[in-house]
Amino acid sequence: MSQFDISRRGLLMAAGAMPFVGSACAATPSDKPARWAMVGLGSFAVGQIMPTFAHTKHSKMTAFVSGTPSKLQEQGAKYGVTHHYSYDNFDDIAGNAEIDCVYILLPPGLHAEYTIRALKAGKHVLCEKPMASTAAECEAMVAAAKAANRQLGVGYRVHFEPNNVEALKRFKAGEVGALKHVSGKAGFEINPNYGPHKWRLDKEIGGGGSMYDIGIYALNGGLMFVDEAPQSVSAVYTYDRNDPRFAEVEGGVDWKINFASGLKVEGQSFYTGSYVTRQVVDGAGGQIVLDPASSYDGVKASLQKAGAASQAISAGESRQQFAAQIDGFSLAALGNTPHRTPGEMGWRDLRLIEAIYRSADNGGQTVKV
C-alpha cells in the first residue's frame, strides 16, 4: 500500500456523494486531437469542463472514470463516450490507446494518487488545483511525470482567461511601469449543509482550508506578475477559532510573500464573507485591477495610468478560459512540450501555502521558503 492509498475508500465515497465544484505552449497544432479521459464526474466536471470540449480545436473526450455507474451511462450517452472505468479498474487505462491525456477532477485528497497512477499508465495529466494536499505529494507527482516522460499540468485556468492574459501582456509591455506591489482577495461564505461546500471542510478530502480552495487563486494570480523567487512568508489567521465549521480546516488567513528586491505580494483568503476574487497590480506609473479576477464568467479588468482615467481591458469572453486551458494542454501533450502551468508551479504554491500555515500557527512569525 502506498502513502497515497490511506483511507482511499472513504475519500472515494465522499467524492461520489458530494459533487466537486471548483491555462499557450510551443507545440505545433495537429490534425489529430488529443484524446481525454475525465476522472471524476462531479458538478465541476459536468457543469464546466465537459461542455467546453465542444469549443476546443485540439481535444476530444474518449473516456470517463467514475464510481457511479449511472453517471457513466448518462454522460456517456450524452457525449458519445464509450470507454468507461471505475476507480477499481482505473489502471486499465494503460492499455487504452485512445487515451492520451487524463484530467483529474476529483477532490484534492485524491489528486496525488490518481495523478501518479495515470502517469504510470503512460498518460499525460492535467490535475485540478490545488495540485495536492501536501508539497511532498506534489514532489512525488512531479517525479512521476519525469519518470514517465509525460507532461503534468495544474488547472490554473486564469493563465488562459483572455482578460487576465491581456492584463499580463499590458503589464509586461510596461504600461504601468515597474512593479511595486501586488494584492489579492479571494473568498466566500461556506455553508456546511451544502454538498459542494461540505467536503471542503473535511481536511482529508479538501486538503486544508480556504487557501487550498479559493485563496490559491489570489496567490497564484499574484505571482503571475512577478519575475523573481519568493524568499519568505508571514501570515495570521482571521477567523473565529470557535466557529464549529472550522474544526479541521482554517476559515481565513491574511498572508504576505516577501522577495529579495523588497517586493511584496499579499492577500486575504476566507470562508467567512461575501464572494470576491480581486487582484490589484500596482506599478510605478499606474495600476491594473482584475475584479472579479478568477470567476468562471464575467472577469473584468481595467488599467489606470498615473493622471489618467481608468480604461477597461476587454480581450474576450471569460468562459473561453476552459477551452483554452484544455487545448493548451492538448498541444503540450501532442508535442510533449512543457505546459504553461506545469506541476512545478503547483508544487511551488503548495510549499508557499504550507509555509503560510506555519507562520499563522506561530502568530505571524516570518518563515523562509
Is a pLDDT exceeding 60 seen at residue 17?
no
Q: Which three cell numbers stand for residue 91?
A: 489502471
Which one has a higher pLDDT value, 297 or 195? 297
| Beta strands 34-39; 59-65: pairing state | parallel
Cell numbers for 283: 506599478
The pLDDT, as a whole number, for residue 343 is: 98
Q: How far apart are CA 18 and CA 204, in angstroms?
A: 14
Share of the chain above pLDDT 90, in %: 90
230-275 pLDDT, tens per residue?
Answer: 999 999 999 999 999 999 999 999 999 999 999 999 999 999 999 9
In this predicted structure, the answer to whether residue 161 has a pLDDT above a threshold of 70 is: yes
Task: Quote the CA–CA distance of 253 and 255 in Å, as a whole number.
Answer: 6
Cell of 334: 501532442
Q: What is the pLDDT of residues 319-335, one digit of tens each?
A: 999 999 999 999 999 99
Tens-digit pLDDT profile for residues 332-361: 999 999 899 999 999 999 999 999 999 999
Binning pLDDT at 50, 70 and 90, where does residue 30 land? low
Retrieve residue 174's grid coordinates. Answer: 510596461
41-90: pLDDT as tens digits? 999 999 999 999 999 999 999 999 999 999 999 999 999 999 999 999 99
Pairing of β 301-305 and β 286-290: antiparallel
d(CA 26, CA 258): 32
| Secondary structure letter of residue 91 according to DSSP | G
Going from the C-alpha of 246 to that of each of 200, 202, 213, 301, the distances in angstroms are 10, 9, 14, 33
Cell of 234: 508571514
**Is 129 among the catalytic positions?**
yes
Residue with cell 492584463: 167
pLDDT of residue 25 exceeding 50, the answer is no
Under DSSP, the state recorded for 21 is: P
199-216: average pLDDT: 96
Chain position carrying cell 482554517: 250
Say how far apart CA 24 and CA 323 lie, in whole Å: 12
In terms of CATH architecture, what is 8-158+323-342?
Answer: 3-Layer(aba) Sandwich (3.40)
Q: Region 204-224: what's the mean pLDDT?
A: 97
- pLDDT at position 31: 76
Between 7 and 79, residue with greater pLDDT: 79
- Average pLDDT over all residues of the chain: 92
Residue 300: phi and psi, rounded to 5, are -125, 140
Contact 118, 126 (CB under 8 A): no
CATH fold for domain 161-317+351-368? Dihydrodipicolinate Reductase; domain 2 (3.30.360)
Indicate if 60 belongs to the active site. Answer: no
Residue with the larger pLDDT of the pair 57 and 16: 57
Q: Which of 129, 185, 198, 256 is catalytic?
A: 129
More confident residue, 30 or 103: 103
What is the Cα–Cα distance from 96 to 63, expressed in whole angstroms?
9
Domain limits, CATH 3.40.50.720, in the chain: 8-158+323-342
The predicted pLDDT at position 326 comes to: 98
Write down the pLDDT at residue 255: 98
Whether the CB-CB separation of 314 and 164 falls below 8 Å is answered with: no
In angstroms, rounded to a whole number, what is the distance separating the alpha carbons of residues 114 and 60?
A: 21
AA letter at 70: S
Q: Supply the DSSP string of 210-258, one letter for each residue.
A: HIIIIIHHHHHHHHTT--S-EEEEEEEE-S-TT-GGGSSSBSEEEEEEE
Q: Name which of 112, 106, 130, 129 is nearest 3 in CA terms.
A: 112
- Given the residues 87, 103, 212, 217, the one annotated as active site: 217
pLDDT value, residue 13: 35
Residue 46: the pLDDT is 98
pLDDT of residue 11: 40
Provide the pLDDT confidence category of residue 21 given band limits of 50, 70 and 90. Answer: very low
Ranges of CATH 3.30.360.10 domains, the chain: 161-317+351-368
Considering only 15-24, 77-86, 124-133, which range has the smallest mean pLDDT?
Answer: 15-24
User: Does the pTM exceed 0.85?
Assistant: yes
